[in-house]
Structure 1
Amino acid sequence: MGKEFIELFEQWADTYDDTVTGHDIEYKEVFNHYERILTEVASKSIGHVLEFGPGTGNLTERLLAHGHSVTAVEPSPSMRKIAQEKLQDRAEVLDGDFLNYPSDKEIYTIVSSYAFHHLTDDEKAIAVASYGNLLRESGKIVFADTMYESVEAYEQAITDAKEKGFYNLAEDLEREYYTTIPVLRNIMESNGFSVSFERMNDFVWIMEGTKL
């Protein structure tokens, strides 16, 4: 469930906030409009929020600023420590992942930013089925992540990165489990969600699903 990438995030934890603010030229477009993306996710959320992959707590802070209570689940110990120090006692930051999470609270919205691609498509389907059982009618899933309109668009993104000399980005795109909007739409609708997609930059879309 994405645990194969924990070591990567252990190494990235101390510089993650610098990357999202555009200091890494290879990932500058990936994180273009980063603050707006977080704000959009927070503004689309309702009630108590379950957040997957909070990293250093940037989206968590935005959710709190919008008046939400948050339970955040982060598998990387280093990321989790930074988030806990940043957030103090304003939100729970617990060990877990997209399929291993506390379910003892009533959850109205499930959110994530820049993390759902750590699951294979089969794992994504298992996760969404689990969330469908957790959420009541009108409950929401709001995920911001890199995704593509087609397999061809995904392959072109890898080619473009290599042509620009962005070999770390190209390796990232090839190594992790980036998927397409048609695949995600099918997963969401098959599990009883209406779903829409909003493009935020050349890489990232916001997927907003509401349980029917």
Structure 2
Amino acid sequence: MGIEFVDLFDQWAGSYDETVSGNDPEYREVFEGYEEMLGQLADLAVSPVMEFGVGTANLTRKMVNQRKVVFGIEPSKEMRKIANIKCPEAAIYAGDFMKYPQLLTPIRSIVSSFAFHHLNRDEKKQAIGAFYNQLDFEGQVIFIDTLFKDERHKKWLISQAEAAGFLNLAQDLQEEYYPYLEDLKEMFSEVGFKVSCKQLNKYAWLIQATKEK
């Protein structure tokens, strides 16, 4: 994952929970229904679970409460500090989508929330190939993340953010690596996943990809 984001995560650690809770007007629509979305993802995950981009362990906490075994990966030192306090039952390691400790435990679900877009296209393809090798047969990748339906949708979201005066959000939508819907589906399909996507709010989508033979 791009090293340029790690410092941002460290800076964001202290205010992340406030932002996803809807207390930052600029990102309120991005995280609308946040707790419900994470609850849906946690319900779908089958243990043992590998979680990328643990952040402040909001999803981790929900899965552990369901008595699921969770192995977490998080690149930010400051985020890991909060996650270890909030969810000491989970094993949380330093790493990211591209570089992480190799686990001997067979994994049934790989999950992530609002993190996969930090990889560029080539990194996404490489990570998806690694997911396929990591998962048991019929294991699943289950992500929640922002993506664009197409170029027209991207331009519309940027114009909406600019019109509202949300210039940081507009910049994020232009500079971060949010994928296009069909391109992301193709990346999973060509490796051997059966993939489906469902829109959850104006920005966020649920991506489910099941490993097939």
For Structure 1 versus Structure 2, the TM-score category normalised by the shorter chain is: over 0.9
Q: Distance in 2 between matches of 1:62 and 1:198?
A: 21
The answer (yes or no) to whether the contact 1:3–1:75 under 8 Å persists in 2 is: no
Q: Distance in 1 between matches of 2:109 and 2:3?
A: 23
- Give TM-score, length-normalised by structure 2: 0.97
Q: Distance in 2 between matches of 1:86 and 1:66?
A: 15
Counterpart residue type for residue 59 of structure 2: L
Aligned residues: 211
Question: Alignment RMSD, CA only?
Answer: 0.9
Counterpart residue type for residue 76 of structure 1: S
Q: Distance in 1 between matches of 2:187 and 2:63?
A: 26
State the Cα deviation string for residues 18-48 of structure 1 (Å, max 9, x = none).
0011110000000100011101111111120
Counterpart residue type for residue 170 of structure 1: A
Tell whether 2:90 aligns with 1:91: yes
Q: Distance in 2 between matches of 1:103 and 1:110?
A: 13
Unaligned runs of 5+ in 1: none
CA displacement at 1:102 relative to structure 2:
2.2
Q: Which residue of 1 aligns with 2:43?
A: 43
Bigger drift between 14-23 and 168-177 goes to 168-177
Q: Which residue of 1 aligns with 2:22?
A: 22
CA displacement at 1:63 relative to structure 2:
1.1
CA displacement at 1:66 relative to structure 2:
2.1
- Give TM-score, length-normalised by structure 1: 0.97
Q: Distance in 1 between matches of 2:202 and 2:132?
A: 29
Tell whether 2:133 aligns with 1:103: no
Partner SS for 1:78: helix
Unaligned runs of 5+ in 2: none
Q: Which residue of 2 aligns with 1:165?
A: 165
Counterpart residue type for residue 207 of structure 2: M
Q: Distance in 2 between matches of 1:210 and 1:151?
A: 27
State the Cα deviation string for residues 90-148 of structure 1 (Å, max 9, x = none).
00111000021222221110000000000011110110001111112101000000011
CA displacement at 1:5 relative to structure 2:
0.5
Q: Distance in 2 between matches of 1:151 and 1:61?
A: 36
Q: Which residue of 2 aligns with 1:177?
A: 177
Moved over 6 A (4+): none
Trace 1:39-188 onto structure 2 (pairs within 5 A). 39-88=39-88, 90-104=89-103, 105-188=105-188
State the Cα deviation string for residues 39-88 of structure 1 (Å, max 9, x = none).
11111111200000010000000111222110100001001111011112
Q: Distance in 1 between matches of 2:64 and 2:13?
A: 22
